[in-house]
Amino acid sequence: MPHVRKQRNIPKDLLVLRHLNCRMKLLDQDKKHYFSGEKGLEGELKFDQLTENLHSECIIINGLLLKVDNNFFQIDTLIIFQKAIYLIDVKNYEGDYQFDAKHLQHIKSEKIIKDPFIQLQRCETLLHQLLQQLGFHYQVESYLVYINPEFTLYQAPQNPSVIFPTQIKSFFKKLNTVPSKLTNGHENLADLLISMDLGDYPFPQLPVYKYEQLDKRIICPCCWGVMFAENDMKLKCDKCGFEENVDKAVLRCVKEFKILFPDWKITTNIIFEWCSIVRSKRTIRRILQKYYQPCGQGKHCYYI
């Protein structure tokens, strides 16, 4: 049975964009960046569901950002078997593309993407280098998986390391037959790699935003529609009908606020304004007092 050692985190820049997209009008380039981030994450999560159902003995690490000799490299999925480490990059491209030397070109829009296989090779080299420095000698096998069933790549060269949607089933059959018996050494390697994970890139490219320009509202976690207050205790989504207890909704909003404004203090007044549809300031105070630690007195009280 596989052991999922690390669950996938949502990148912080994607979270910021997701929250901003519901609360302001993003520029076209930011919107593109945001949608491609969501699309990529969707593909990775789909792939995670497949790896969770593997039968062979292996360790799965989902999402790592590592650094070796000042070079950053990102790993979508790492699967540790007894004798080999599988390095997997997942792409969720959709539509018809044409392969051309070092690029893929979307046929309709003519948009060009750098061949992700080149990126994967770079990643493999850097992983090798890192393993060597750490004193591990495993074989690394890397694969590029196109996961979207509506993806077609015309004139793709034959490459056993590239897995197309129609080949995913047989790829997993193959993974299920990898003979594997894990030891403490494999566990140690997994722990070590996870401890080296940097989480997010140090300088994310994000749009400039100000508190004043953002819509103050509670966003539905299911469809990103707008929630309204059914009564003092319950909120409901305008669009999909999702219902949520007021405590849960406010706590979600506080989290969101902290992602967008990590340096700001959480006060009753600011969260009351941020959640706008919660009618009573006392409700906000009660929730903050219940789930957070108050600091300071009276007007200057804030929560951590």
Smallest separation, CB 41 to Zn ion (Å): 19
Smallest separation, CB 109 to Zn ion (Å): 30
Smallest separation, CB 243 to Zn ion (Å): 10
Of 251 and 301, which has the nearer Cβ to Zn ion? 251
- The two three-digit tokens of residue 281, written as one number: 């300031």
Interface map 191-230 toward Zn ion (x if CB under 5 A):
-----------------------------x-xx-x-----
Number of residues lying near Zn ion (CB under 5 A): 8
Smallest separation, CB 225 to Zn ion (Å): 4
Q: Comparing C-alpha atoms, which of 76, 74, 69, 80 is closest to residue 4?
A: 80
Interface map 223-262 toward Zn ion (x if CB under 5 A):
x-x-----------x-xx-x--------------------
Positive or negative, the CA dihedral 229, 230, 233, 238 is negative
Smallest separation, CB 241 to Zn ion (Å): 7
Smallest separation, CB 11 to Zn ion (Å): 23
Of 27 and 223, which has the nearer Cβ to Zn ion? 223
Q: Comparing C-alpha atoms, which of 202, 219, 216 is closest to residue 261?
A: 216
Length of the chain as a residue count: 304
Positive or negative, the CA dihedral 49, 76, 154, 109 is positive
Of 191 and 230, which has the nearer Cβ to Zn ion? 230
SS3 content of the chain, % helix, strand, coil (to 5): 40, 25, 35
As beta bridge partners, residue 61 has: 6, 78
Of 58 and 227, which has the nearer Cβ to Zn ion? 227
Smallest separation, CB 142 to Zn ion (Å): 39
Of 181 and 248, which has the nearer Cβ to Zn ion? 248
Of 27 and 222, which has the nearer Cβ to Zn ion? 222
Q: Comparing C-alpha atoms, which of 284, 250, 255, 253 is closest to residue 269?
A: 284
As beta bridge partners, residue 73 has: 66
Of 242 and 302, which has the nearer Cβ to Zn ion? 242
What are 266-269's contacts with CB under 8 Å, separation 24+? 266/292, 266/302, 266/303, 266/304, 267/301, 267/302, 267/303, 268/301
CA distance linking residue 174 with residue 3, whole number of Å:
18
CA distance linking residue 223 with residue 214, whole number of Å:
19
Residue ranges in contact with Zn ion by CB under 5 A: 220, 222-223, 225, 237, 239-240, 242
